[in-house]
Structure 1
Amino acid sequence: MEIRLIMTVSSIDRIGPFEYRRFLPSIPPLDGAYDATSHDVVIVGGGPVGLATALGLARHGVRSVVIEADDTVCEGSRAACISRRSLEILERLDAAHDFVSKGLPWRTGRSFYRNEEVLVFSMPDDGVGKFAPMINLQQYYIEHYLLQAIERRNSLTPGMIDVRWASSVTDMKVGETGVDLEIRNALGIYRCRAGWLVACDGGQSFVRNALGLSLIGTGYEGRYAIIDIELPSDAPTERRAWFDPPWWPGSTILMHQQPDNIWRIDYQLRPGDDPEAALTPTAVETFVQRHLDAIGEGHLRWRPVWTSLYRAGAMTLDSYRHGRILFAGNAAHAMPIFGVRGLNSGFDDADNLAWKLALVVRGCAPADLLESYSDERIAAFWINAESAMRSTEFMSPPSRGFDLMREACLSLAGDHVSIASLINPRQTRAVTYQDSTLSSDSDPFDVGPAPGAPAKDVKLPQENLYLSDLLMAPAFTVLVFGDDRIGRDLNDALLKTGFPVHIAMVASGHPSRDSGRLSDSGQLLREAYGARNGSVYLIRPDGHVAARWHDPTPDRVRGAIERACAINEGSKETLCRN
């Protein structure tokens, strides 16, 4: 969680080569006091999660309006670590290329206790997927690249995503069929009707507060300062952590490299430290110079770029759906920064929500499908929170007892590998929706992603082709191994239903280029998925497995798709027919 206590920042027009674009407010064509267009979806908040949700909806053919209070992208690094799972999501949104081109990949972290290195960890990486386990990229670049993806989308379908800058929602009325909003900006006030509202308006969410909702969970007293500096250092891109460093005793310091020679430093305020005083220019200069001197980089010229404070916590709403209003990102939950689960969880929210809301808006699934969004993402929150809270309690001990335990671990870690593992920050990883109601009964497999798990990416024999490339379509993917008969039967049966379905045939040999089948000549895909001739995987539009079988019938696969869309006998009339 990042509860903003103080933020001091000058008016920034440029950070290194990055130039801020300022966007003007606008008033849409009106019918009286109302926006003349009634919108299917309005998204409140144009940060990374709101923009990703809009792109996800557009991918499925649903238009949206984004209401953003600021007139530009954010200032400061903020959420700066992007996981492999998030990059896979961003690839489906036509944004990953920019992220990867600019971001700095890393796999390694180092932890020091006073002057001794006590842990070197590497994030799990089997070398099979196309992305690094993590990249560092400032949030202003993240938002900028998402806006560029929106521009590309709008160039193909004009008006698909309407971002309305420098505008705030100041009132709302919620009904059974939609939401009525009051929107204000420098040009005036107007009202807007929406069938659905997605609240992505951050930790101080207006929408959440207007509904009288509160986050539940654990808040921590420890406070951290963030200082972004421009520093021409050639140190490697890795996560470094110093516990109780002699040059700043009683604190913990984290340091990350970001593009453009911007370095992110987080440090824990000690008992008695004044938060406001910690961000004064004199205090910032004293701390940073002392830290750089200690790590051998004090001779380099540096300058501060941005500063902020936060307090850690792991908290969530008890439901992410309230009638016609859905919550995502920090409006729905808050995570400590340790393990970088905040924004990465938000991207998972957007990915999970977009296809479900699109099916509901298009009349392809009942609104009950959205209950699974809330259930799955709250379950994911608690999985993430368990690791995040352990990391937070180690990084920022909540009591003297935790502090003594940490001191014992750190003092012994240099000589005991098993104890050193307790220092590992447990970086974020993709979550399995183990108990999802959208998963169907499946056949037993020896290996491979189980129902609820994200599909495992595999490099295919074709040049520069990965399994994830087949999951780009805004549809359910039916992955058929080897048996042409099953593939033909499924194709004939499923495509007539109107479900968004993509059939992907996997051949064990080298199929001809025009066969439409994928080569798995090295059997890598079969081995990773525990498949044999005739095996079938059903993969959801968000890349999670819905079901798997060794010899399924078309009826069984169709039933699994219906279950994944929350369709039952009483709601089958909602199926798409075009």
Structure 2
Amino acid sequence: MHQPHAEPRRSIYYDYQVFDAWVPSQHPAQQHAPVVVAGAGPIGLVTALALAQQGVRCVVLEAERQVSEGSRAIAFTRRSMEILQQVGVAHRVTENGLPWNCGNSFYRGQRVFRMENPHDPDDRFAPLINIQQQYLEQYLVEACDAHSLVELRWGNKLVSFGQDASGATLQVDTAEGPYTLETDWLVAADGARSAIRALMDLKLEGASYEGKFVIADIRVDLPLPTERLAFFDPDWNPGNTILMHREPHGLWRLDYQLPPGETPEDALQPESLKARINAQLAMIGHAGVPWEMDWCSVYSARALTLPDYVHGRVLFVGDAAHLLPIFGVRGANTGFQDAQALAWRLALVARGVAPASLLQSYSSERVGAAREIIDEAGKSTRFMTPPTRGFRLLRDAVLSLSLTQPFVGPLYHWRTSRPHEYTRSPLNAVSDDNAAFERGPGHGAPPRNIRLDNDRFLLDHLDHRFTLLWATDNGSSLPDDVRALVDEARAQGLPLQVIAVGARQPVAGADRTLPDADGHLRRRHGLSSGGAYLLRPDQHVCARWAALDASRLRAALHTAIGLNTGASS
């Protein structure tokens, strides 16, 4: 019988809640769920919420009875906030998080590079925002609890499963003993040490780096701005790297690299932690300032991915699918994009609107994204923690030059996580006008989140449906053949909304009209009257036209839901 830890975790700033364990005797017999999500971390919860918002019931299994221990992922990108807005919790993060956009690199007491992430007046969210993972999980749990199509089963450990062409049969252990649960689809969101990945004997591909880092959260009063701080080759930790981030509630995150040969057990000894944290505080001019430890751990930099995220009826997301270096805040931020990319496809498949082959495009898109990230993150990782003597000599040469040669500074750039653009997706239209556009987001890119007025933005009007953005200057009705096609698609179960852009009055055939009096939205998207964009439910562009017509819209919709053969390649 599975008996998870029942005492609240210790923290100096977060009050842990121990949730009631779900046991079979206290619930009606439920032997089947359309989707089971294994893992109630941020990625699993976002996947479950997105599925529920699209009408798919899912059960979330979580072996523990509390949200995660320690701050873990703390820096969330603008694109992650847009995804969190789509599932209804972004406002909770902005209310309580710390926004920032600058990073600083120091060498021998001198700032040698300052990076400022771009921030546009059209951006609702800051480039990055810091908040501890426990709070984000809490907001997501509360959103799941409020949704009738999500069932969270705390204290439920998936111990084994089998699958066939129609679904999977799970063996789940609880405090009362095991029970059997059948599902059409199993989403593996069970993290870096994925039990599902191990049960299937699946191997990650890529590189693991030798460098190990201590991660420590301390409460300390430092009069410093909310900016990323990186220190290279400091006197107290020669040849290595230290990172610092401010967190809410008076906490600071310190990451420092260990010298070769030091074990995690030795590094986490209280005397070792105290000496090194004191040395870092002294180096930045705050020797002797009192501090209190909240949580600490050790991690290694890894750049690994499964070569395929779809294995029969089992679908992998987040750290269960890939392990990415933290440099550039990639782990959770990449996982949110996985969750968003999977959920709309799985919802259409689960509801019988699209063929199961559509899921292969999820794998090809997201494996491609992971490999691109691994290539970029590898550059940052090799700079932060050189894996060989040759890389160290190169890094040290850059450090030395940067003291006198400003042109060297950009080599410190940490290549921040960004939304992936699926330019080669099999779901992109093949007969649209994408190549003819001179501006605006192209195939596979998310749209510009245009500010419509002081507190409304374009993405506020996008939900989990396909969206047809249609430009009109004179307020004329949506063409009759397009209206007929939209009605036909909806009758077949395809979620599709139409937004007219540019008219002062409501447009017949459109679900809503955005006036765009100054033409800003249309200019940023390269649209003139009669032109249109088709956005997928994950908000990425899959087609755009200089002049919309029903036949090409029909072809684009069929391609986007995998009804053309290219989606299964």
- Give the TM-score normalised by structure 1: 0.92
- For structure 2, the 5+ residue unaligned runs are none
SS at match of 2:274: helix
Deviates more, 1:544-553 or 1:406-415: 406-415
Partner of 2:412: 423
Question: Is contact 2:9–2:69 with CA below 8 Å preserved after alignment?
Answer: no
Equivalent of 1:188 in 174, 177, 187: 177
Question: Is contact 1:119–1:414 with CA below 8 Å preserved after alignment?
Answer: no
* Residue 453 of structure 1 pairs with residue 445 of structure 2: yes
Shift of 1:13: 4.2
Aligned counterparts of 1:517 and 1:345: Cα–Cα separation in 2? 33
Question: Is contact 2:240–2:258 with CA below 8 Å preserved after alignment?
Answer: yes
Counterparts of 1:111-130 in structure 2 under 5 Å? 111-130=105-124
- 1:336-371: CA deviations, max 9, x gaps? 000011110100000000010000000000000000
* Residue 73 of structure 1 pairs with residue 58 of structure 2: no
Partner of 1:506: 501
Amino acid aligned to 1:330: D
Partner of 2:394: 405
Partner of 2:539: 543
* Residue 15 of structure 1 pairs with residue 11 of structure 2: yes
Amino acid aligned to 2:65: D
Cα–Cα, structure 1 residues 10 and 55, in superposed 2: closer, same or farther, change >3 Å? closer
Partner of 1:4: none
Shift of 1:212: 1.0
Aligned counterparts of 2:157 and 2:565: Cα–Cα separation in 1? 42
Shift of 1:114: 2.1
Equivalent of 1:52 in 40, 46, 55: 46
Aligned residues with identical type, % of pairs? 42
Partner of 2:462: 471
Amino acid aligned to 1:469: D
Amino acid aligned to 2:461: L
Cα–Cα, structure 1 residues 512 and 538, in superposed 2: closer, same or farther, change >3 Å? closer
Question: Is contact 1:495–1:501 with CA below 8 Å preserved after alignment?
Answer: no
SS at match of 1:346: helix
Question: Is contact 1:44–1:67 with CA below 8 Å preserved after alignment?
Answer: yes
Aligned counterparts of 1:413 and 1:45: Cα–Cα separation in 2? 44
Amino acid aligned to 1:19: D
Cα–Cα, structure 1 residues 396 and 12, in superposed 2: closer, same or farther, change >3 Å? farther
* Residue 197 of structure 1 pairs with residue 186 of structure 2: yes
Aligned counterparts of 2:506 and 2:48: Cα–Cα separation in 1? 38
Amino acid aligned to 2:193: Q
* Residue 525 of structure 1 pairs with residue 515 of structure 2: no
Equivalent of 1:567 in 537, 558, 563: 563
Shift of 1:72: 0.2
Aligned counterparts of 2:466 and 2:6: Cα–Cα separation in 1? 47
Aligned counterparts of 2:103 and 2:529: Cα–Cα separation in 1? 42
Counterparts of 1:383-398 in structure 2 under 5 Å? 383-398=372-387
- 1:353-408: CA deviations, max 9, x gaps? 00100000000000000000000001111121111110000000000110011111
Aligned counterparts of 1:41 and 1:30: Cα–Cα separation in 2? 21
Question: Is contact 1:85–1:430 with CA below 8 Å preserved after alignment?
Answer: yes
Shift of 1:128: 1.5
Partner of 1:5: none
Question: Is contact 2:98–2:248 with CA below 8 Å preserved after alignment?
Answer: yes
Amino acid aligned to 1:300: V
SS at match of 2:456: coil
Partner of 1:95: 89
Aligned counterparts of 1:487 and 1:475: Cα–Cα separation in 2? 21
Aligned counterparts of 2:419 and 2:445: Cα–Cα separation in 1? 8
Amino acid aligned to 2:548: P
Shift of 1:264: 0.6
Aligned counterparts of 2:8 and 2:297: Cα–Cα separation in 1? 15
Equivalent of 2:55 in 43, 53, 61: 61
Aligned counterparts of 1:29 and 1:364: Cα–Cα separation in 2? 36
SS at match of 1:213: coil
SS at match of 1:460: strand
Amino acid aligned to 1:313: R
Aligned counterparts of 1:110 and 1:569: Cα–Cα separation in 2? 48
Question: Is contact 2:12–2:294 with CA below 8 Å preserved after alignment?
Answer: no
Equivalent of 1:218 in 187, 207, 215: 207
Aligned counterparts of 2:76 and 2:102: Cα–Cα separation in 1? 15
Question: Is contact 1:26–1:187 with CA below 8 Å preserved after alignment?
Answer: no
Amino acid aligned to 1:445: F
Amino acid aligned to 1:381: A
Partner of 1:368: 357
Aligned counterparts of 1:144 and 1:39: Cα–Cα separation in 2? 24
Aligned counterparts of 1:426 and 1:297: Cα–Cα separation in 2? 30
Aligned counterparts of 2:56 and 2:276: Cα–Cα separation in 1? 49
SS at match of 2:208: strand
Counterparts of 1:172-187 in structure 2 under 5 Å? 172-187=161-176
